[in-house]
Structure 1
Amino acid sequence: MENKFTAKRPHCVVLAYPAQGHINPLLEFSKLLQHKGIKVTFVTTRSFCKNLHKQLPHSIPLETISDGYDNGGIKEADSPKAYYERFREVGTQDLCELIHNHKLGDDEVDCVVYDSFLIWVLDVAKRFGIVGVSFLTQNVGVNSIYYHVNKGMLKVPLLEKEEIWLPGLPSLAPCEMPSFLYEYGYELDVLDVVVGQFSNIENADWILCNTFYELHQEVADCMTKILPKLRTIGPTILYKSLNINNGIEDEQDYGFAQFKSEECTKWLDDQPKGSVVFVSFGTMVALDEEQIEEIAYGLRDSGSPYLWVVRDSEQYKLPKDFAKKSEKGMVVSWCHQIKVLSHEAIGCFVTHCGWNSTMEALSLGVPLIAVPQWSDQTTNAKFIEDVWKNGVRAPIDEKRNVRGEALKKSIWEMMNSEKGREIKNNAIKWRNLAVMAVHKGGSSENNIEEFVDNLVGLKS
């Protein structure tokens, strides 16, 4: 990839919402911008950075602003609504000061790329007369749903037996929509944020979406007609994992790391190719004790070796008779997910279907067993099973739990059946398309190159 270096490089501030799943794609995008000759300053909150064991790549400057809760972040606030309101108030002031200080220091900021949840950043960009870029961290299909809710074209709460049709999307049942829309009254503060991110998005100079075009051609085309400034720029994933040498310095760890140890590499090296069931439910979801017990017995009885990530804070929920390390399986508190998914021993991935995990598995050709929990995960699971056909959704009971026997059958189907082989072939197809998308900047039109050229033009 050509470096667009000029005597006076454009300077881009990248502001990430303080959560692991939001920070990592913006960090990888920052590395790419820097490689293309854009000066990048990465910004997030003081509260998030206090808990890090690893900082940014040394080549990307890190600055922090306050969210009004410098000790504990959102956990310190009385409610999500109180957090967002305080973050807007304090963050606006701090970001203005940061941009002003760079101008005084002859290091003027030309552009702010901000997590779309932080809609107030666009007002700051307009105040300083710089480019404001909204970065959507979820898939474009989910973003389309939230956009239509924001504009009043999709009414909530959804009716139990309602069939939802939106432009470019398959038919969706309420239970296949983002959970905030059909579990109405649950997490209403969060619903306001995910829907509200589209309240001023038309005023952004660019709208970048963390996906690649081939995954969502129909809905991407429909959304681009509505929002002409929208561009797909994904997958934002560690390029070394895709065996792509683009000259970007690969760090030992992917993005920010909030955990120190990694215990599983040698164990994976000793397992047969394509044999291991990898299980992880991300950094936010807390499964109840009954569900963890069912997963434990389903894995134990599946006959396949397994690697299961259970956070330290959740391990007390494991059954007393379930060994954390045995001949067949291993439970760890953290692992380097990209490295694990890249390992040849992995046969399938049991996942909560968070968008980063979904994108990583798609990009690395790993078939999925979907066990969605909340938010956009149910919609991602719909795409996985019915649209991309690179996985199956594990059946749930009346409590919405996956029983051990159901998980055992899903694993057997994935690892041993003809359907499983077809799913694996589809997974490889998507991996190849993801690699092509990286080479083409997120689409056939090379959207990243277009964006970079625009920024470079500011200084020419």
Structure 2
Amino acid sequence: MAMEKSPPPAPHFLFVVSGIQGHINPARRLAARLMASAPAARVTFSTAVSAHRLMFPSLPSPAGEDVDDTGVAYVPHSDGYDDGYKPGVHARDDYMARTRAAGTESLSAIVAALAARGRPVTCIVYTFLVVWAPAVARALGIPSAIYWIQPAAAFAVYYHYFHGHGEALASCANDPARGAVVRLPGMPLLRSDELPSAVSIVSPEHKHYLLLAMLRDLFEDLDELKPRVLVNTFDALEPDALRAVPDLEVVAVGPVVPDGEASLSSSSTDMFRRDDASACVDWLDTKPARSVVYVSFGTLLSMSKRQEEEMRRGLEATGRPYLWVARQGAVDGGATLDSAPTPAADAGGGGGEGDAQGMVVEWCDQMKVLSHPAVGCFVTHCGWNSALESITRGVPMVAVPQWTDQPTVAWLVEARMGAGVRARLDGEGVVERGELQRCVELAMAGGGDGGVRARAERWRERAAEAVAAGGSSERNLRAFASGAVTQAVCSSR
């Protein structure tokens, strides 16, 4: 009798993600959407042990496994810093070699263990700071894809930086008058203050040189392996940038943000504790529609004491109620990759003398806040996750970019979308109180069909269309999932 063929293995996506909240969140959300696009698929999510133990503090072992309510399994890998990377303790020069060695060994062991359990990995999806992941995929003969969690415009700028335009970009970014412009293939003109900060780095002594070195390694692997590039954006927002790198297949799969109460619930496993999560919403419930200024600069950025004071005075000067997320230790402090922000110690704290006007907390559920009808604008550092969340809720923004891709995000928000206002910084990089007041008033104003609010609402509609059934991003993700299924079947024959 002829032997019956065993069924082909189910497609199994292994997400490999750095232990930073801003990388974990969009990767987890894409993992859940991928499972929805390919119901027969398995998805395993692996981040660094230091982050994993913060996401799952009740596990008996830091390396213990868990499964969330979407069916995504969580298995941590070691990046060589299982207690977290501490810049003041660990040598920066050792970082890349140590993470590469530990990550390669750990990820290879995870893949082998999954195969031994009858769950062979058929595709590795990685984010851009785990630059050693593509080499592991190549060595194990596993197809890979990169999930680019910044704008397509930032990806295009970095690509051209490492492909013949590095000198021009560095010269533009370091123009002392801030009036220089640069034109890259397939891209519109970009000013010096619209470029990602990494392209301004010209010395290995720069405090962020490690980021540039990691990007260089990443793009060298992209040149060799040419994986599919999945970008957390959508076609209507960045049509030029998505086509500005013809040597690679760059496709939009976003905006990848929670899209309802179910998503909010299923995406709630993060490194924050969620005590008194309802306090912000209860406070917002007492405010009129579109009256509240929401302020948050994310989980990594620190704020100088002067900037804190100018921010507080500027918010008070607006005369509007405000909700300000000010993480403990973020003033004159430095966040590290292993930082774990803590919940609000005083969820009802106010802004100095005007404490009836404002509410200051250390954490809030940002999507619930942005979805609340009382919120009228968002003062943001322009992290891409925050910007996309604001776009999908139709909330106008006041852009206060600091570093990495944030200047490029601010350009998209103000110049390309018209859905926000970019604040001008003084010589010390501070937004003064009068400038903040000016920008908030512009963002909060109605302005009719041509106003910032109306444009923000139109972009909300376009973002929703992209991820709806049959939308451009939904089709791209479904095609990626289907291709992986086909690839898994063919490789088993």
CA distance in 2, matches of 1:453, 1:207: 16
Q: Unpaired runs of 5+ in structure 1?
A: 1-5, 242-247
Deviation track 1:335-356 (CA, whole Å, cap 9, x = no partner) reads 0111111111110000000111
Q: Deviations over 1:379-419 (max 9, x none)?
A: 11111111111001112212121001111111122223638
Aligned amino acid, residue 352 of structure 2: A
Structure 1 segment 39-58 matched on structure 2, within 5 A: 39-52=42-55, 57-58=68-69
Q: Is the 8 A contact 1:17 1:118 kept in 2?
A: yes
Counterpart for residue 243 of structure 2: 221
1:73-100 deviations in Å (ceiling 9; x for gaps): 3547634442232111110011111111
Q: Structure 1 pair 252/95, CA: closer, same or farther in 2 (3 Å)?
A: closer
1:252-307, Cα deviation, whole Å (9 max, x unpaired): 65452423222311000111111110000000010100001000000011111100
Moved more, 281-290 or 160-169: 160-169
The 1:165–1:459 alpha-carbon spacing in structure 2 relative to 1, beyond 3 Å, is closer
Cα 1:276/1:195, change in 2 over 3 Å:
farther
CA gap 1:396/1:312 in 2 versus in 1, 3 angstroms: same
Which residue is equivalent to 2:406? 377
Match of 1:306 in 2: 322
Q: Secondary structure at the match of 1:138?
A: coil
| 2:219 match | 198
Contact in 1 for aligned 2:181/2:190 (Cα 8 Å): yes
Aligned-pair CA distance for 1:377: 0.6
CA distance in 2, matches of 1:194, 1:61: 28
Equivalent residues of 1:276, 1:348 under 8 A apart: yes
Secondary structure at 1:398 match in 2? coil
- CA distance in 2 between counterparts of 1:97 and 1:57 reads 22
1:170 aligned residue = 188
The alpha carbon displacement at 1:28 in A equals 0.4
Most deviating of 294-303 and 115-124: 115-124
Output the CA distance in 1 between the equivalents of 2:332 and 2:136. 45
Partner Cα distance (2:165, 2:332) in 1: 45
Distance 1:170 1:459 in 2: 40
Alpha-carbon distance between aligned partners in 1 of 2:283 and 2:303, rounded to the nearest angstrom: 26
Confirm or deny that 1:437 pairs with 2:440: no
CA contact (8 A) 1:371 1:394 kept: yes
The partner residue of 1:158 within 166, 171, 193 is 171
From 232, 235, 254, the counterpart of 1:234? 254
Q: Following the alignment from structure 1 to structure 2, what is the Cα–Cα distance between the partners of residues 29 and 397?
A: 38
Residue 123 of structure 1 corresponds to 135
Q: Is residue 278 of structure 2 the alignment partner of residue 267 of structure 1?
A: no
Shift of 1:181: 2.2
Whole-angstrom CA distance in 2 between matches of 1:79 and 1:326: 43
Number of the residue aligned with 2:25: 24
CA contact (8 A) 1:238 1:254 kept: no
Displacement of 1:153: 2.3
Kept in 2: contact 1:272–1:345 (CA 8 A): yes
Q: Tell me the residue number matched to 1:423.
A: 452
Aligned partners of 2:24, 2:35: CA distance in 1, in Å?
16
User: Whole-Å Cα distance in 1 between the matches of residues 488 and 473 of structure 2?
Assistant: 27
1:209 equivalent to 2:231? Answer yes
Residues 48 and 73 in structure 1, CA contact (< 8 A), matched pair in contact too: no
- Number of the residue aligned with 2:79: 67
**SS across alignment from 1:78:** coil
Question: Which ranges of 4 or more aligned residues in structure 1 deviate by more than 4 Å?
Answer: 53-56, 74-77
Q: TM-score, normalised by structure 1?
A: 0.90
Distance 1:40 1:325, change over 3 A: farther
Counterpart-to-counterpart distance in 2, 1:73 and 1:132: 26
TM-score by length of 2: 0.84
Residue 139 (str. 1) matches residue 151 (str. 2):
yes
Q: One-letter code of the match for 1:256?
A: D
Question: Percent identity among equivalent residues?
Answer: 32
Distance 2:163 2:75 in 1: 35
- The aligned amino acid for 1:233 is V
1:3 maps to what in 2?
none
Number of residue pairs the alignment of both structures matches: 445
How far 1:249 moved relative to its partner? 6.2
* 1:198 partner SS: helix
CA distance in 2, matches of 1:444, 1:50: 33
Whole-angstrom CA distance in 1 between matches of 2:97 and 2:184: 31
Q: Is the 8 A contact 2:234 2:473 kept in 1?
A: no
The alpha-carbon deviation at position 444 of structure 1 amounts to 6.5
Work out the CA distance in 2 between the residues paired with 1:23 and 1:129. 25
Distance in 1 between the 2:470 and 2:217 partners? 28
- Where does 1:244-259 land on structure 2 (aligned, <5 Å)? 251=265, 253-259=267-273
| Aligned amino acid, residue 312 of structure 1 | Q
Per-residue CA deviations over 1:40-62 (Å, capped at 9, x if unaligned) read 01101111122336776242211
